[in-house]
Amino acid sequence: MSWEYSENILVQNSAGNLLQDALGWDVVFAYNKEVLGQDGTLGRKTYKEIVLTRYLKKALFENNTWLTAELCEEVVKNLLTYSSSNSLKQINQQKYTMLTNGIPVRFKKPNGEFEDRQVKVFNFNEPEKNHFLAVKEMKIHGSLYRRRTDIVGFVNGIPLLFVELKKQNVDVKDAYDLNYTDYQDTIPQLFHFNAFLILSNGLEAKVGTLGSKYEFFHEWKRLQEEDAGTVDLEKMLRGICNKTNFMDLFENFILFDRSNGKTAKILARNHQFLGVNEAVASYKERKLRKGKLGVFWHTQGSGKSYSMIFFAQKIRRKFTGSPTFVVLTDREELNKQISDTFEACGCLGNVEAKQFIPASGARLVEMLKGNPSYIFTLIHKFNQPDVEPIMPDHDIIIMSDEAHRTQNGIFADIMCALLPTASRIGFTGTPLFSYDHITERTFGKYVSIYDFKRAVDDGATVPLYYENRADLLEITNPEINDRLLDAIEAADLDVDQQAKLERELAKDIHILTSKKRLDQIARDFVDHYSDLWTTGKAMFVCVNKVTAVRMYNLAQKYWALKIAEVKKSLETASQQEHLEISRRLKWLEDTEMAVIVSQEQNEIATFQKWGLEIKPHREKMEKREMDKEFKDPEHPLRIVFVCAMWLTGFDVKSLATIYLDKPLKAHTLMQTIARANRVYEGKSNGLIVDYVGVVKALRKALADYTATQGGDTSDPAPDKEKLLARIFALLKEITDFMMEKGFDLSKLVHSAGFDKLALVKEGANAVCASGEVRKCFEIMARELFKLFKYVERHEVSDDHRAYKNAISAVYDQLQEKRKHSNTTDLMIQLHHIVSDYITVIDNSRVAEEAKRFDISRIDFVRLQQEFARARNKNLLMKDLKELVEDRLADMMSRNPTRINYYERYQVIIEAFNAEQDKAAIEKTFIDLANLVKDLDEEEKRYAREGFDNDEELAMYDLLLKDSLTPQEIKKVKLLSKTLLEKIKAKIAELDHWTDKEETQAVVDVLIRDTLWSELPESYDDFALTLYRQKVYEFVYSNYPAA
């Protein structure tokens, strides 16, 4: 391997040079160069130390001019002390708190009194005044294990940055699986203070936090919002390790979220960091902007709630004064969710969120006259029109969640009159519509944009697919016009509007809620979702509360029938089918459904008029934590029926499918479908199933984005009709292609038993007539298989699925590789290959029968005769070529001097490709068979040469040159054995020697010195260098570890 392409030169050195030359870090190479001791390279006394106290103490005195030497020692001791009973994440959180808030000490003043003070480790206001040091190849010892890290970044002696690098052709995930996870177990102290984990192969880079799964490591693609974005290590280092950004990220963009009883360490994603800083800059100019901070549009699922916290926390830390943040929503469940999130992230201190929620409009006014850090309120509580305006000395910042819904109407007018000096910022997951001028007048223009397409491209959300089942089922639906949409939206926002809706649009509502229609949809829903049983949870959106309960009852009925149907199918299932069906049956039996609707007065009587009971559902909603159960991917609550609750501001990562049977418009529609776009392990996409025909409203909403502000108008939910049309076209293309190659796919589809097995091979034989034919078939087949993942059983006919399965069988046959161990005689394997393709004619029926010979009497004349009788010669040639290629690859990896056998193989194949007629195929078989025979003899040569194994022979072949005397040959053979023994012994002493430049040099020097002292005199200096390089490259490739 060329040195210039090694991990050290191409990746690690490039990263180190960028840190030093462009970003101003000090960079030190430590491996085998670090001198331990107080005056040593880094000031460490032992390799177990991970805090560089030399730099730490210097920073403590610089940042705390009052600090005494005695207190400094106490601070260092407190910072390094931890409880062994705590988890690694608990230790990390405790250290983060000390590093950001300061380390508490008791300071004795000159008058003898004591005062509590906080010792600052970092200068956050002037980042350049901190000491930034990157150490490459740093030895770190744990209690049992010793490791060497690629790059550790220190700020004032604290290890905040960990970088694990791989070669450019190695998957980045290997850095997580093979190195990072190992280091957590073997040298855990390295992560006590860690803030940023970067994994990269140079071309790709991911950043994450301690405790995060690899799926939640993310890219850092942009330095400015308008950048197109790249995913390489250079962009990440420039974005994160810029000194100002680094300290800003550490201080203001890390959270510990304790939601759901578990602590997650959250690092802002690239778009959050850029967007929040744009909003903070807007706040800095609040007076010039007359309090209009702007609209913060980051698409649903991209972490809007965390962005609100980052924004509030940074303003509280970086600006003087004590502002009050008024977090504004329009629904109780959203108010609870956002306040709970602020509490879980530690923003409220040790006070419960409910203490910051006013119970009434009067209480809200009372709180606003004070100076609480936060107020979480509904817009409806601004209902005191006669109160004098409140103009406090401190800032009031209104953060409106889903700004388009909370900025107009009488309550918003009262709010603006009550708080005339307040600053206002609107957070939204959907863009402003072209007709929405009120939002812009209230908050100003966009301050940050992160749209649908960019979120999907960045992996912040998953793509959405749209499926129109209304047309498929020929369901009667009302015309979805603005009048209907406006009326339904008004009814959702105001219970009193429900009666008006039913009165004025009685005909449309009757159509939507007719018994026959709901029954048909419920049956289809059960069939559809039970086919998707491995994908995730489901939400069914109904037009109103009564319909939600009716749909629940109907779904229960058809769910029971589905369970009975699946149970019955077990009676005729094969052994393999039985296992899969049993798993599906258990899932069906375990699955729980629930109705989630808000309370209203007289609801018991209302539902009784429809012959329905709401009390059992209400008891479930009140006595259980339904939101937590539905968010838990392992909980059997998998289906919820809703009408307005949970459509906005409710994130369930495992929610995969949304069934829409309610006309929705504009923002509500976009927010609803976005419930399914959250990233979750194993989730490739979300699915929107439409029973009511909302696709027109969806496209209109997308067309109404404020295009001048950069809104993306691409359809986030592609039409499934186009997907199915492409599948059907592909099936025809593949069928026609195979017919052109002499194979009728329909015969395979309609065959059975052993005939089907024989035809699978015939099909594979037809499409591997040449490399180009095989490649064309496989490309089309792979596209077909990919598209089939997005369709359900009922969307394609049994006939179409049968053709797809037949194509899959042929494709799998092509992928099959003959398995054989290195110790198996290749001639036996060759015989079995030929036997597999022998055709035996019996009563005019063709069948494949594996003929057998006495393997002790194999001869090539007989094999050639049998080959002449084989029917699927193309497929036989494919298998034979693969077998020879595997054997050649194995033999050449063990001894690269066998290249002449590979060149001989290439000549055979080139001749075959030039002709490809019957005579050429038979000649190729003969040539390959003779090559195999010679390969078998070559594998036995080590014994004839007097070696104990093939490894020693390989070393000998590498060192051998022409014109050696018998005595010199004897000396080279002895050298081959001793050199191999020395190399193996040295490698056993080294840890992953091929990963590091220094350990590579150790092995290279050993080879050089041994060859210099023990090669015959006839090897001159030029030859010595040549053979040294050959041996080193061979050892590097074949002995990566002991």
Is residue 647 domain-shared with residue 519, that is, in the same domain?
A: yes
pLDDT of amino acid 732: 94
- pLDDT digit string (tens) for 471-486? 666 666 666 555 555 6
* CA distance readout (Å), 223 to 238, 259, 307, 830: 8, 31, 18, 59
* pLDDT mean across residues, the chain: 82
pLDDT of amino acid 854: 30
Is residue 761 domain-shared with residue 634, that is, in the same domain?
A: no
pLDDT of amino acid 458: 65
Structure confidence at residue 842 as a pLDDT band (50, 70, 90): very low
Hey, which of 686-690, 710-714, 915-919 has the most confident mean pLDDT? Answer: 686-690
Is residue 505 domain-shared with residue 439, that is, in the same domain?
A: no
Is residue 679 domain-shared with residue 584, that is, in the same domain?
A: yes
pLDDT of amino acid 876: 60
Is residue 770 domain-shared with residue 794, that is, in the same domain?
A: yes
Distance between CA 839 and CA 876 in Å, rounded? Answer: 12
- pLDDT digit string (tens) for 539-587? 999 988 999 999 999 999 999 999 999 999 888 877 767 877 888 899 9
**377 domain-assigned:** yes
Structure confidence at residue 877 as a pLDDT band (50, 70, 90): low
Structure confidence at residue 918 as a pLDDT band (50, 70, 90): low
931 has a pLDDT exceeding 90: no
Task: Point out the domain boundary residue: 228, 254, 280.
Answer: 254
Is residue 636 domain-shared with residue 556, that is, in the same domain?
A: yes
923: containing domain: 826-939
Structure confidence at residue 699 as a pLDDT band (50, 70, 90): low
Number of domains in the chain: 6
Mean predicted confidence (pLDDT) in 920-927? 68
Of 25, 90, 504, 71, nearest in space to 241 by CA: 25
As a whole-number percent, the residues of the chain with pLDDT over 90 amount to: 45
Instruction: List residues bridging with 867 in a β-sheet.
Output: none
Which residues, at least 6 apart from 208, have a Cβ–Cβ distance to it below 8 Å? 197, 199, 214, 216, 217, 218, 267
- The tokens for 733 are 């293309």
Structure confidence at residue 708 as a pLDDT band (50, 70, 90): very low
967 has a pLDDT exceeding 60: yes
For strands 205-208 and 196-200, give the pairing: antiparallel
Residue 27: CATH number of its domain: 3.90.1570.50
**103 domain-assigned:** no
Which range among 471-480, 659-668, 741-750 shows the weakest confidence by mean pLDDT? 471-480
Which range among 33-37, 569-573, 785-789 shows the weakest confidence by mean pLDDT? 785-789
Mutual orientation of helices 88-101 and 243-252 as an angle, nearest 10°? 110
**105 domain-assigned:** no
Is residue 650 domain-shared with residue 691, that is, in the same domain?
A: yes
Residue 471: CATH number of its domain: 3.40.50.300
Mean predicted confidence (pLDDT) in 599-603? 86
**944 domain-assigned:** no
For strands 374-378 and 324-329, give the pairing: parallel
The pTM score is 0.59
Is residue 843 domain-shared with residue 988, that is, in the same domain?
A: no
| Strand ranges (E), 567-685 | 592-596, 637-642, 655-660
Is residue 156 domain-shared with residue 40, that is, in the same domain?
A: yes
pLDDT of amino acid 95: 97
Q: What is the 3-state secondary structure (H, E, C) of 467-532?
A: EEHHHHHCCCCCCCCHHHHHHHHHHHHCCCHHHHHHHHCHHHHHHHHCHHHHHHHHHHHHHHHHHC
Distance between CA 372 and CA 324 in Å, rounded? Answer: 6
* Four-point Cα dihedral 669, 675, 678, 681, nearest 10: -140
688 has a pLDDT exceeding 50: yes
pLDDT of amino acid 135: 97
Q: What is the DSSP string of 80-145?
A: H---TTS-HHHHHHHHHHHHHH-EEEEEEPTTS-EEEEEE-SS-SSSGGGS-EEEEEEEEEE-SS-
**664 domain-assigned:** yes
pLDDT of amino acid 860: 42
H/E stretch holding 155: strand 146-155
- pLDDT digit string (tens) for 285-295? 999 988 999 98
- pLDDT digit string (tens) for 146-159? 999 999 999 999 99
849 has a pLDDT exceeding 90: no
Structure confidence at residue 707 as a pLDDT band (50, 70, 90): very low
pLDDT of amino acid 716: 44
What is the identity of the amino acid at 614? I
Is residue 810 domain-shared with residue 838, that is, in the same domain?
A: no
Distance between CA 616 and CA 62 in Å, rounded? Answer: 66
**798 domain-assigned:** yes
Task: Point out the domain boundary residue: 939, 972, 1004.
Answer: 939
Task: Point out the domain boundary residue: 895, 910, 939.
Answer: 939
pLDDT of amino acid 789: 67
Of 243, 240, 329, 317, nearest in space to 280 by CA: 317
**455 domain-assigned:** no
**925 domain-assigned:** yes
Residue with tokens 């992953």: 992
Q: What is the DSSP string of 38-57?
A: TTSSS--SSTT--S-HHHHH
Which range among 138-147, 527-536, 902-911 shows the weakest confidence by mean pLDDT? 902-911
As a whole-number percent, the residues of the chain with pLDDT over 70 amount to: 80
529 has a pLDDT exceeding 50: yes
Which range among 44-48, 305-309, 609-613 shows the weakest confidence by mean pLDDT? 609-613
Which range among 174-188, 246-260, 976-990 shows the weakest confidence by mean pLDDT? 976-990
pLDDT of amino acid 681: 65
Structure confidence at residue 169 as a pLDDT band (50, 70, 90): confident
Q: Which of 1042 and 723 is assigned the larger pLDDT? A: 723
Q: Which of 15 and 510 is assigned the larger pLDDT? A: 15
Structure confidence at residue 846 as a pLDDT band (50, 70, 90): very low
Hey, which of 126-135, 338-347, 836-845 has the most confident mean pLDDT? Answer: 126-135
Mean predicted confidence (pLDDT) in 717-724? 69
Instruction: List residues bridging with 257 in a β-sheet.
Output: 264
Mean predicted confidence (pLDDT) in 26-53? 95
Is residue 360 domain-shared with residue 489, that is, in the same domain?
A: no
Is residue 953 domain-shared with residue 935, that is, in the same domain?
A: no
